[in-house]
Amino acid sequence: MAAAERHVPATPPAPVAIAVESVSKAFGAVQALVDVDVRVRAGEFLSLIGPSGCGKTTLLKIVAGLVPADRGRVSVGERIVWGPGPECSVVFQDFALLPWGTVQRNVEFGLLLRGVEAGERAERARRAIAKVGLAGFEAAYPAQLSGGMQQRVGLARALAVSPRVLLMDEPFASIDEQTRRVFQDDLLRLWSEERKTVVLVTHSMEEAIYLSDRVVVLSPRPGRVHQVLDVPLPRPREAGDVRGTAEFARLVDGLWKILRKLQ
């Protein structure tokens, strides 16, 4: 039911979780983003897609507070973003795990930095590890895990701090296809249980359509919002065979037609 609520336009409309207002960013002479406006609704799953050089990762980092915008304004919930804040967690493409820490220590890391005391830290990390399906691997080191499992650790670390917003930077890009599909379904299941707002940067059209409520297409050099696509596929998608439906194929093809013109 939670999933259905998201798609029936509620009255009053769901509060905006993230507002990106006329944001511009240049790196030296290179204009990465120009006048970007994106609004993400609370509980929404939104993807950013576009050719390389469209600034999708830069946009994600601006929302995360890791990169300052040159102009414009970003707010997450009530907070204007000046730097990293407690509502957001980031999941990185290359996992960014501490090689010297066990799974448990890695998942505790965000809690540790935020000053959560040891007992509670261990308990919350254990729960997050179980949630991503890694119970039993608490004592393993990252080097002993497969790429897919390492990213599950990255996701658990992000979830452990109980963020309202999950920012994911091509989280599945370094994971093999079979593992990726299982992981995507697990992510959808977690998302519908936890009711987080998710912003996902991806270069995979199938992934964007399969996971998202809306897909924001960015055009390159300079990065601008080119188009915003609604994905009216029914949820929960992870239970059925959504990838095999004609509607899914039609949406992916539509996205491809948009992206092809941007290359």
Partner 1 sequence: MVPALRAASVVGFLLLWEWAARVPISFNFPSPWATVTALLALVRSGALLEATAISLQSLLLGFGAAVALGVPAGLLMGVVRPVGRVGRVYLDLLIALPTAALVPLVILSFGINILSSAVIVFVFSAPFVTMNAYGGVRDVRPRLVEMARAFDASWWQLFSRIVLPSALPMILAGIRYALSRAFVGLIVAELLLSPFGLGRLIMTARSMFEHDRMFATVLWTLMFAGAALAAVARLEARLLRWRA
Kindly tell me which residue out of 3, 16, 19, 66 binds partner 1, with binding defined by CB under 8 A: 66
- x/- string (CB under 8 A) for partner 1, residues 163-182? --------------------
| Contact (Cβ atoms closer than 8 angstroms) between residue 128 and residue 91 | no
Distance CA 233, CA 237 (A): 8
From 20-28, 87-95, 221-229, 231-239, give the range in contact with partner 1 by CB under 8 A.
Answer: 87-95
- The yes or no reply on residue 195 touching partner 1 (CB under 8 A) is no
Q: Is 20 in the site for partner 1 (CB under 8 A)?
A: no
Whose Cβ is closer to partner 1: residue 142's or residue 222's?
A: 142
Applying the rule CB under 8 A, the residues between 132 and 151 that interact with partner 1 are: 141, 143
Q: 26-47: b or e for each residue (b if 16 or more CB lie within 10 Å)? A: eeeeebbbbebebebbbbbbbb
CB of residue 86 vs partner 1: minimum separation in angstroms? 7
Q: Does position 68 bind partner 1 by CB under 8 A?
A: no
Residue type, 97: L
Q: Is the dihedral of CA 110, 112, 115, 117 positive or negative?
A: positive
Q: Which two tokens stand for residue 110?
A: 């965000």
Contact between 89 and partner 1 by CB under 8 A: the answer reads: yes
Cis peptide before 236 (omega within 30 of 0): yes
214-219 and 45-49 strand pairing: parallel
- Span near partner 1 by CB under 8 A; candidates 39-47, 105-113, 212-220, 252-260: 105-113
Peptide bond into 12 cis (omega under 30): yes
Quick one: which of 9, 12, 13, 83 contacts partner 1 (CB under 8 A)? Answer: 83
Q: Which residues bind partner 1 (CB under 8 A)?
A: 64-66, 83-86, 88-90, 92, 94, 96, 98-102, 109-110, 112-114, 141, 143, 161
